[in-house]
Amino acid sequence: MRVVALVPGGIEQQILFFPTLDDLQQGYPNAELDVVVEPRAKAAYRISRSVNDVLTFDFKDRNSPADWANLLGILRDRDYEAVISAGGTGAGLLLWLTGIPTRVGFGNGYFFTSRIPKKSEQYAPQVYHDLLQGLGISTACPDLALRIPKSDQDWAQAERQRLGLEGYVLIDGSSDYPIASWQQIIQDLQQKQPEIPILLIQRDENREFVAALSQSCPGVKVSNPKDLGKLAALIAGANLMLCTEGSSMHLAVALEVYTLVLFGAADPAKLLPQQDKFLGIKSSTDQLADIAPEQVLQKVWGG
């Protein structure tokens, strides 16, 4: 059996879709599972446990009829027996034209063979998992899980040795939350638990932010993992992770690392499971900058 899933969105959306793929593989252990994702999201499948092949298509681009025809041809040539669409009803016509006999999607799309109500008030992985009802799978949504390649585990071990780390607090943030607030949080952590190092994650887009924090908070460590597997391997070794809402948060959840997340307008109930290990602080104004560092520290110290 060959099954394909269309999953628009970035890396965050792919990770949230992992439980659906994992349960599909569990329900159909001999199936080959492929996904069609945007080019920016392909890197997520480095840490997937269940996907056979990753095809790319830029759903948000101004695609010409030839682009859509090319995707249609690829899907037809692979003789899929079932397809699930995590996007809206707009993909229904395309999927009908592929000739795939079982087509599952959200909403009331006329061209789907199974139409699943989208219950967006749920925890996001559960929303996607409901699609499996169209394939006869009615199990509970499994927890987020991932696979870290051995090469990435080895890299993280060498990186921890280079930095002299065992246990540590990991911070993956950005200047969307004021640098002065991050400084206050880091300095309080250093004062109260000086024996626990603080590790900052550096990316191309937050290089200036990390440099400013490193200069104002002597003693912090910095690491620049080059892909999602290496980032996940670093997260796995942390005692605590502090971050803003994003893909790193979901990696920490999958790895069951104690995590404190700062939210602006997003709803923590839809993006974090209801477990004591994972805490969300929601801005009362929907503005991330308005979360007081004292509020964060109160949660860190168990207040």
Three-state secondary structure call for residue 230: helix
Q: What are the extents of the domains in the chain?
A: 2-135, 150-300
CATH dotted code for 2-135 = 3.40.50.2000
47: left (phi over 0), alpha (psi -120 to 50) or beta: alpha
Q: Cα separation of 199 and 102, whole Å?
A: 47
- E-only strand ranges, the chain: 2-6, 32-37, 53-56, 82-85, 102-106, 114-116, 169-172, 198-201, 221-223, 240-244, 259-263, 278-282
Q: How would you write the pLDDT of the chain (303 residues) with one tens digit per residue?
A: 899 999 999 999 999 999 999 999 999 999 999 999 999 999 999 999 999 999 999 887 777 888 889 999 999 999 999 999 998 656 888 899 999 999 999 987 789 999 999 999 999 999 999 999 999 999 999 999 999 999 999 999 999 999 999 899 999 988 899 999 999 999 999 999 999 999 999 998 889 999 999 999 999 999 999 999 999 999 999 999 999 999 999 999 999 999 999 999 999 999 999 999 999 999 999 999 999 999 999 999 985
How is domain 150-300 classified at the CATH fold level? Rossmann fold (3.40.50)
| pLDDT for res 67 | 86
Q: Is the dihedral of CA 122, 2, 69, 71 positive or negative?
A: positive
Per-residue model confidence (pLDDT) at position 42: 96
2-135 with 150-300: one CATH topology?
yes
Contact by Cβ (8 Å): 204, 176: no
pLDDT at 114: 94
Size of the chain in residues: 303
SS3 track for 57-116? CCCCCCCCHHHHHHHHHHHHHCCCCEEEECCCHHHHHHHHHHCCCEEEEECCCCCCCEEE
Residue 202's pLDDT is what?
A: 95
Q: What is the dihedral of CA 45, 50, 54, 60, to 10 degrees?
A: -70
Tell me the C-alpha distance between 162 and 254, whole Å.
26
Which residues, at least 6 apart from 199, have a Cβ–Cβ distance to it below 8 Å?
Answer: 163, 165, 168, 169, 170, 171, 220, 221, 222, 223, 234, 238
Contact 81, 2 (CB under 8 A): yes
Nearest partner of 173 among 241, 226, 112, 272, judged by Cα:
241
Question: How far is Cα 225 from Cα 233, in angstroms, rounded to an integer?
Answer: 9
State the pLDDT at residue 204.
87
